[in-house]
Amino acid sequence: MEVNTPPLAAGGSLCRDAGDSARKAAEELAGTAVASKIFGDFAEANQFHATVSTAHQNHQQQLHGHHATLTGVSDKVAKAAQLFTATDGCEADAIKSAGTDIG
């Protein structure tokens, strides 16, 4: 099996960057709120405000979830690249030593 670890590591880095962007977006949303009377001061406007506020909170939670998922993938990719590289080095050493034992 052949694994090209540089592109694997690059993909992991891109996942981490995307996770960081999701975290920053969640933080930006957390720093804002929909003004209570922005849509007017009547029952339907208040209902719409509540709906928009709920969507705002849900979007924040989704972004935090995306951050957790993407950074988790990034961590796993980094570990996999490290293990593939270490295994490849050990196997290369074993092959070299087998060749010197024969000759």
Q: Which domain holds residue 51?
A: 5-101
Q: Which amino acid is at 64?
A: H
Count CB-CB contacts under 10 A for residue 61.
11
Write the pLDDT tens digit of every residue in 36-88.
899 999 999 999 999 999 999 999 999 999 999 999 999 999 999 999 888 87
Predicted structure pTM score: 0.78
pLDDT value at residue 8: 93
Q: Where are the alpha helices (DSSP H) in the chain?
A: 5-30, 43-102
Q: Count structural domains, the chain.
A: 1
